Amino acid sequence: MAGTEAQPRRGFPFPFGEDRYRYSTNVEPARVPVSTAAGRWGATVVDVDGEYRRELAERARILAADPTRHAAAPHLRVAAWDAVLTLLRELAASYPASMRLSRLGAGRWRWENRLLGVVAEPVYGDDASLPAEPLRWVASQLQEDLVLLDERAGQLWVEAGVVTFAAGWSFGFDLGMSFLEIHGPVPSSVHREGVFTRAQEFIRRLQPHEPYRRTNWGMTVGRRLDTSLERYPEWAPERARILTVDDAAFGRLLHLRVEVQHLLRLPDSGAVLFLIRTYLLPLEALAAVEPWRRRTAEVLATLPAEIAEYKGLAPFRGRAVAWLRAARPGTGDPR
């Protein structure tokens, strides 16, 4: 297992900058590479890696089974096309060897994705020029989930997007809610500190062509990207069963789950595009990087109880700390 995880470790966005974790806005300019103890990440807004085809196939399967993971409000039609062109430009600029966007004329484009064997000629604003609704189609070209935020009366509202890899929330339920309403379930101490009020004001001040990013994290049992509330009956029992497995299985099954979230003010519509890219790394692979092993153990050990409960870590947090502390440095194997 450690060998197969070597490449993901190199590009894994390890989220902990110190030995303790508290909620914060933690935003920073995008496209600035971050060096870690294992490699580097963050040079691009959209990230194509070795999981590309597998994750897109999983997204297609989820959307076919549950259409509520995609929504396109009619009044955000211009914003949807703005997002399509912005994302195709990002992909083509970041991966020119395998993706190309060419301008054919006024509002007419040619898209080539050699990784998928896709060729399309979208006409900006013409839904019929694509084989699916614009947001749904562009979501078939990138691994990130995407959400469009509209601004009204001084607040941000979730009103369109494609979200197939949610972590403990429901896009269908949150659709139409305000930014602050969506974050209502977060621990009360975070609200008292004004974290999300400041976050909303920061997002409202975003300018076109100046993307920002932040990381978020949790833990997942197995390589399950879709831990949405819709699938709760499937993944919730796994969090209890993992306590019954031996140490070797525990290290293979429990994954650190990290989201790299990008925020972009779209240039034509003024809407905000929120991208969520999810990465998974099992504890055994994480523990093979010694600084990560030590820091993750400390972060989990010192995490406030209300945050551990909110993130769903409470049942197995103690065992995860013990497992990480007992792992032989640099190997990921328990003593």
Residue 333 confidence (pLDDT): 56
Number of residues written out for the chain: 335
Residue 189 has pLDDT above 60, yes or no: no
Per-residue confidence band for 3, with pLDDT thresholds at 50, 70 and 90: very low
Distance CA 267, CA 228 (A): 31
Domain boundaries, the chain: 6-77+134-326
The three-point CA angle 219-223-225 to 5° equals 75
Contacts of residue 162, defined as CB under 8 A and 6 or more positions apart, other chains included, come to: 59, 63, 69, 70, 135, 136, 139, 145, 146
Residue 190 has pLDDT above 60, yes or no: no
Residue 187 confidence (pLDDT): 58
Residue 334 has pLDDT above 90, yes or no: no
| % of the chain exceeding 70 in pLDDT | 92
281 phi/psi in degrees, rounded to 5: -140, 125
CA distance readout (Å), 168 to 110, 164, 304: 37, 12, 19
Residue 116 has pLDDT above 80, yes or no: yes
Residue 166 confidence (pLDDT): 97
Per-residue confidence band for 179, with pLDDT thresholds at 50, 70 and 90: confident
Distance CA 243, CA 230 (A): 24
Map tokens 């099992």 to a residue: 282
Q: List the catalytic residue out of 9, 59, 136, 214.
A: 214
Active site residue 214: yes
- Read off the pLDDT of each residue in 49-69 and give the average, rounded to a whole number: 97
- Read off the pLDDT of each residue in 239-256 and give the average, rounded to a whole number: 95
Closest CA to 335 of 293, 301, 299: 293
Per-residue confidence band for 291, with pLDDT thresholds at 50, 70 and 90: very high
Closest CA to 287 of 99, 4, 9: 9
* Summary mean pLDDT of the chain: 92
